[in-house]
Amino acid sequence: MLLVLVRHGESIWNAQGRVQGHGGTGLSRRGHAQARATAEVLAYRYPDAGLLVRSDLQRVAETAAPTEARLGVEVRVDERLREIDVGTWSGLIYAEIEERDPLGFQAWSTRGDRDVRRGGGETFAELRERVWPAILELSGARGTVLVFTHGGPIRVAVASALGLPAQGETRLAGPGNCSLTLLEWRDGRHRLRAYNGVDHLRDRESSSACGHNRY
């Protein structure tokens, strides 16, 4: 079976450079265009997808909506696929975080290999603990499953699939908005087929617009 992990499109807070976590807004105008382009390519490549699973947060729901409409696929909402919780940092730009929480910001910005809790929220280890079981449950499905989620969950899912150690997700670049990452489940093992694919967006916007990796 194949898991297609889709990061949400650009949100209004992404465009403003604000850290999101469990908070945040819906999509920006660019984000809606990215979601439509992604729906087109998913419908073309995976017309027989049998299931779509998504985070419950607004920016993901709005990203998934065009694909849901095109494919008419079964949809499940799973809160475990939410972005990492950044606590009191949610809604702030980094300059505001540094001003309001200087010690926390310093610990995060100089963290090295340490797994720092952002704004009193989650660590990456805790994110793995809730995301990976959700991914494993989907491995029992047949065919193709579309998973609409966030950058943090995609990174920890890939790190777990590859057997990377704790903090191994920090070795992976943050997935771009509406990027596609493919995990294959075969012979009892997960294999990474593609990571952070954004080719389907490049005809519509410059590749530089695919960044915005605020949590």
DSSP character string of 109-159 = HT-TT--PPGGGS--HHHHHHHHHHHHHHHTTS-SEEEEEE-HHHHHHHHH
What is the pLDDT, as a whole number, of residue 189?
A: 87
What pLDDT, on the 0 to 100 scale, is given for residue 142?
85
Kindly indicate whether the domain formed by 2-210 is annotated with CATH number 3.40.50.2000.
no
Q: Are 159 and 172 in contact (CB under 8 A)?
A: yes
The encoded tokens of residue 49 equal 């997808």
Q: The pTM is what?
A: 0.93
Q: Residue 207's pLDDT is what?
A: 41
Residue 7, CA distances (Å) to 47, 88, 199 in order: 19, 23, 14
Measured CA angle at 101 (ends 97, 107), to 5 deg = 95
Q: Where are the domains of the chain?
A: 2-210
Terminal Cα-to-Cα distance of the chain (whole angstroms): 29
pLDDT under 70 in the chain at which residues? 203-215
Distance in angstroms (rounded) separating the CA atoms of residues 80 and 129: 9
Give the integer Cα–Cα distance in Å for 168 and 18: 25
Give yes or no: 8 in active site.
Answer: yes
Q: Which among 34, 60, 62 has a CA at the least distance from the CA of 204?
A: 34
- Phi and psi at 16, nearest 5°, equal -90, -5
Angle, helix 29-45 to helix 58-71, in steps of 10 degrees: 40
Choosing from 10, 22, 62, 83, which is the catalytic residue?
83
How confident is the model over 52-86, as pLDDT tens digits?
999 999 999 999 999 999 999 999 999 999 999 99
C-alpha span between 86 and 194 (Å, rounded): 28
Residue 208: its pLDDT value, please? 42
Q: In this structure, are residues 71 and 44 in contact, taking their beta carbons and an 8 Å threshold? A: no
In order of 58, 92, 143, 188, the CA distances from 3 in angstroms are 22, 33, 9, 14
CA pair distance 88, 70, nearest whole angstrom:
37
Query: What pLDDT shows up at residue 209?
Result: 44
State yes or no: is 74 an active-site residue.
Answer: no
